[in-house]
Chains A and B, each alone.
Chain A
């Protein structure tokens, strides 16, 4: 009984629930499965067609992704003989792990956070910057010219967006005077962050698009130029993991956007719903907006994306820092 109560204590610990269920692995999985379906449906509707339909006919094909996932699990994974086998196989697993890792410091409600620290924002940025290295590793290990070019492009994109991602979050940190997520959310009681500093919100949103390869910045895996970029040689379950990892990254960044700019679980009116449901709902809406742009824009060239990053968005992010300093000086 001692062991049983110890196990129960471990399972029902807030941190463990946060890591496994909300906002951890299970929520991420469910949201990713839904968001890919939503992306395909939205792109289809804008293009005057129907999208996935046949899997669960009455619900509009919502379980299409589950069918795809089962197909990935069942088909035979082939490891080409000319690749660097260890890194080739290790990469999807590492990528999935590192894409979901930053969620460890982001809260979904007052107490659902895996690691409670005072430096949440900083830890998040540090953890989110590791992923592009793994993609470059995949590009090198595949031993294919297209993958090599794709890996290099991912490195270039890292140079482009990392700085103004950091500066938008810096603007928010200056505005609220703290790096702790929970205190930031609690001080958005009357005004959400997006109303106080909309420019920081815009520049963080565009950094989010660039970092997760959403259109118009879908450059590392630009399918019509370099056949899937660094992921050319991947098939079956490894391909599924890699594509999923991209969406996990989108989920984590959207969660941060919700917490920092949209007030986390705060609403102007009272509703008897648990806090984490509100946060997850807002995150889903942010993801839908990010994914909707697939149907609108073509993609930029890589040098154009770098130029936009440094000539247009870096001044914008600097402006947002200035606005934060001014607002703080006025006394908000």
Chain B
């Protein structure tokens, strides 16, 4: 006897321990997935529309809260777009401090992705360790900015605070602890034979297809393409810092994991260089410093905490368009800001790396086993709130 239906449809839905805030509709024949169809939009909050009703400064904390593991990069991209509209560039010390926060946040974001990837393969040890190691980075960021996750540290014209006393020694101590534990994590999770068996050869993305589909971030670099926004269109302090780009040729899930680990090592190198080469100077641009009365200027130079000039509350920005593009943890992030001379933006368009990698869901999850679905899609480091905005 033959039955008409050969395949069953599974809703790998939001109520699933390993799916995140999205749904994938899988068509399964036996143990082989024939088609995968992502269904997103569960976390859409309308950030782009909300930005049209807030002033330029009020948008800063809002865009940070789209993607919480990676908040500093969204902050930085928006402020770079705004600074292009205002026609100013932050002083050198501020650029270095922005790089410092961005790299600390990159490590935290990669650890978040690796932790979720580990627990979906079954190793709950990887999950707990990665989130425990992420604590070190959050404590460092807390010392620098005053908050653990949503920093609101970068403002047009510079940054909000200077580094506190004894920060370099603290950073060095934490980084040494961190490196020791990363070596143990490598022995326990990354070089684990079962992890390798699970991830090698799964979800292979060849180089030409990666370029044709327009993917970004570590996914692109794991397929052999050397593209990193920090090299192509340098921003912040990257023109003056020496670092390598992590590239691997195989293009499978294991290569993506290794690219992220290498990027963490490079970030540690960058943090050490930034703290060594930190130039002196002010942390806020001259144009805004001279608007402050002398008593507040003294306060800023003595304590290192910035005071905003009163014009920040209702700042009118000249007409034009500004683009800020940074290399966030998950890929290339672009903010496009259009203003028509008023105190609220006319249009804010955000292009997030998770959304650009979404095409890979239906492209890579074909003719694989059901157990490979979480191994593939969490190796792409897809973060639904960032994609849905």
- B-contacting residues of A (Cβ < 8 Å)? 43, 46-49, 145-146, 149, 215-216, 218, 222-227, 294-304
Contact across chains for B374 and A225 when beta carbons are under 8 A apart: yes
Contacts of A225 in B (CB 8 A): 18, 120, 370-371, 373-374
Segment at the interface with A among B82-90, B124-132, B147-155, B334-342: B124-132
On whether the beta carbons of B369 and A295 are closer than 8 Å, the reply is no
Q: How many contacting A-B pairs (Cβ < 8 A)?
A: 81
Report yes or no: B128 in contact with A222, Cβ–Cβ below 8 A.
Answer: no
Is B373's CB under 8 angstroms from A216's CB? no
Which residues of B pack against A, CB within 8 Å?
8, 10, 16-18, 28, 31, 118-126, 128-129, 132, 188-189, 192, 194-195, 197-198, 369-374
Whether A302 touches B31, Cβ cut-off 8 Å, given contacts A145-B8, A225-B373, A296-B188, is yes
Which 6 residue pairs spanning A and B have beta carbons closest together? A299-B122, A224-B18, A47-B128, A298-B123, A298-B122, A298-B121
A43: min CB distance to chain B, Å: 7
B22 to chain A, nearest CB (A): 15
CA separation between A216 and B195, bound complex, in Å? 10
Contact between chains at A222 and B123 (CB < 8 Å):
no
CB contacts (< 8 Å) of B371 on chain A: these are 222, 225, 301-302
A297 touches B132 (CB 8 A): no
Given known pairs A48-B132, A227-B17, the reply for A146 and B119 (CB within 8 Å) is no
B194 contacts A300, CB within 8 Å?
yes
* Residue contacts A-B, CB under 8 angstroms, 8 given: A47-B128, A48-B128, A224-B121, A295-B125, A298-B121, A301-B198, A301-B372, A303-B369
Identity of the chain A residue whose Cβ is nearest the Cβ of B202 in the assembled complex = A301
Nearest-neighbor residue (CB-CB) of A225 within chain B: B371
Query: Closest approach, in angstroms, between the C-beta of B151 and any C-beta of chain A?
Result: 26
Known A225-B370, A225-B373; contact A215-B122, beta-carbon cutoff 8 A: yes
Residue of A nearest to B188 (CB): A296
- 19 other A-B residue contacts (CB within 8 Å) besides A47-B128, A224-B374: A47-B125, A47-B132, A222-B371, A223-B17, A224-B17, A224-B120, A225-B370, A225-B371, A226-B370, A227-B16, A294-B124, A296-B192, A298-B121, A298-B192, A298-B194, A298-B198, A299-B121, A299-B122, A302-B371
Q: Look across to chain B and name the residue whose beta carbon is closest to the beta carbon of A218.
A: B122
Residues of B close to A294: CB separation below 8 A: 124
B373 surroundings in chain A (CB, below 8 A) = 225
Q: Give the residue name and chain of the A residue nearest to B19 (CB).
A: A224
B10 touches A146 (CB 8 A): yes
